[in-house]
């Protein structure tokens, strides 16, 4: 596995690979890798000739009072994990190489970015789309592999790719979960043992929602109350949102027919976790 720090070096590596007719699969991450990330790497390995993984904790997507400084980092462990997956390049640019002082251009996907997570984290998606637009130019991937765990992010990136005619195919992959259903996340590390145990209630609530819709429940307000009261059994959790929305627009669903995205974000103290599940009412 080659380590590349310099964006120019990364770009010329990719151009050479393309010149030789190779397809490039790209997995952008913020590191502190877990099996969720590795599932993306595995999919990239299966579909592309050359696999490039980036680790970059992107300051632009963190708000002033968020966890940029304490975001978990363990480069040596990440590197070892990736070596087991036959990754061709690990791209680890520095902050200064990515955002020069003169940086003034930002990519903002309107509408979708203002919903759900965009309400309590207004900087998030503008940061994500800006860094990914830059990375797509630097890495020139044919495919980018992203997790459905960040469903809103996936939708926004797909929109950006369409709107800007970016020559990359966005491939979404299912959420990888812990033994008790908790969605894997680098931020799970922040949880105390007690919080970690309690965190399973988040996916239990989503699963209950799915079961009830599949059983025929169509009263959205009644169902939301049930799910919220299940989460409410853990007093240390503060829900940011728990919603049932259209998976294409993220607008509130009026009824529970067709496809519905059940999505939530919740705080344990300062730790904010997200999860979602897609339900199809028959």
Burial 190-200 (b: 16+ CB within 10 A, else e): bbeeebbebbb
**Helices marked H in the chain — which ranges?**
7-19, 35-47, 75-83, 95-98, 117-120, 124-139, 151-163, 193-198, 200-215, 220-231
Q: Does position 127 bind ligand AMP by CB under 6 A?
A: no
Among 4, 131, 176, 227, binds ligand AMP (CB under 6 A): 176
Contacts 24+ apart (CB under 8 A), 61-66: 61/123, 61/124, 61/125, 61/126, 61/127, 61/128, 61/131, 62/123, 62/124, 62/127, 63/121, 63/122, 63/123, 63/124, 66/121
Q: Is the CB of 204 or the CB of 226 nearer to ligand AMP?
A: 204
Q: Euclidean distance between the first and final Cα of the chain, in Å?
A: 47
Minimum Å gap between C-beta 153 and ligand AMP is 6
State yes or no: residue 191 binds ligand AMP (CB under 6 A).
no
Query: If binding is defined by CB under 6 A, does position 260 make contact with ligand AMP?
Result: no
Contact status: 149 vs ligand AMP (CB under 6 A):
yes
Binding flags for ligand AMP, 18-57, as an x/- string (CB under 6 A) = -----------xx-----xx-xx-----------------
Contacts with 123 (C-beta within 8 Å, 6 or more apart), sequence order: 60, 61, 62, 63
C-alpha span between 200 and 178 (Å, rounded)? 9
User: Is 186 one of the binding residues for ligand AMP (CB under 6 A)?
Assistant: yes
In whole angstroms, the minimum distance from the beta carbon of 102 to ligand AMP comes to 26
| Stretch in the footprint of ligand AMP (CB under 6 A) among 134-142, 163-171, 176-184, 196-204 | 176-184
Q: Which residues contact 219 (CB under 8 A, 6 or more apart)?
A: 256
Half-sphere exposure of 279 (CA within 13 A, CB side): 27
- Binding residue (CB under 6 A) for ligand AMP from 117, 184, 231, 279: 184
Contact stretch for ligand AMP (CB under 6 A) within 111-119, 142-150, 228-236, 251-259? 142-150
Least distance between ligand AMP and beta carbon 30 (Å): 4
Contact between 276 and ligand AMP per CB under 6 A: no
Q: What residues act catalytically?
A: 37
- Name the residue nearer to ligand AMP (CB basis): 37 or 220: 37
Q: Is 146 near ligand AMP (CB under 6 A)?
A: yes
Q: State the minimum distance, in angstroms, from the CB of residue 58 to ligand AMP.
A: 8
DSSP assigned state of 111: T
Q: For 198, list phi and psi in degrees, rounded to 5.
A: -70, -25
- CB of 80: closest distance to ligand AMP in angstroms? 17
- Site size toward ligand AMP, by CB under 6 A: 17
- Kindly state the tokens that stand for 36: 């969720």
| Residue ranges that bind ligand AMP, judged by CB under 6 A | 29-30, 36-37, 39-40, 146-147, 149-150, 173, 175-176, 183-186
């Amino acid at each position: 596995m080659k380590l590349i720090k310099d964006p120019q070096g990364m770009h010329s590596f990719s151009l050479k690979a393309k010149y030789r007719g190779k397809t490039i699969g790209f997995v952008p991450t913020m590191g502190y890798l877990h099996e969720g990330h590795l599932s993306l790497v595995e999919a990239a390995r299966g579909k592309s000739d050359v696999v490039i993984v980036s680790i970059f904790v992107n300051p632009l997507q963190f708000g002033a009072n968020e966890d940029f400084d304490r975001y978990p980092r363990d480069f040596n462990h990440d590197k070892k994990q990736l070596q087991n997956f036959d990754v061709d390049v690990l791209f680890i640019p520095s902050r200064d190489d990515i955002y020069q002082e003169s940086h003034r251009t930002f990519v903002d996907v309107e509408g979708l970015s203002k919903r759900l997570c965009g309400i309590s984290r207004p900087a998030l998606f503008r940061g994500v789309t800006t860094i990914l637009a830059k990375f797509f130019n630097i890495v020139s991937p044919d495919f980018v592999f992203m997790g459905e765990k960040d469903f809103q992010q996936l939708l926004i990136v797909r929109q950006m790719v369409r709107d800007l005619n970016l020559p990359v195919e966005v491939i979404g992959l299912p959420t990888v979960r812990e033994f008790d259903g908790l969605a894997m996340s680098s931020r799970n590390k922040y949880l105390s043992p007690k919080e970690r145990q309690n965190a399973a209630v988040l996916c239990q609530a989503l699963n209950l929602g799915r079961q009830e819709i599949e059983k025929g429940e169509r009263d959205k307000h009644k169902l939301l109350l049930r799910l919220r009261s299940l989460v409410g059994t853990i007093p240390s959790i503060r829900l940011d949102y728990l919603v049932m929305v259209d998976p294409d627009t993220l607008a509130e669903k009026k009824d529970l027919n067709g496809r519905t995205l059940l999505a939530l974000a919740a705080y344990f103290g300062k730790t904010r976790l997200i999860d979602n599940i897609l339900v199809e009412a028959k």
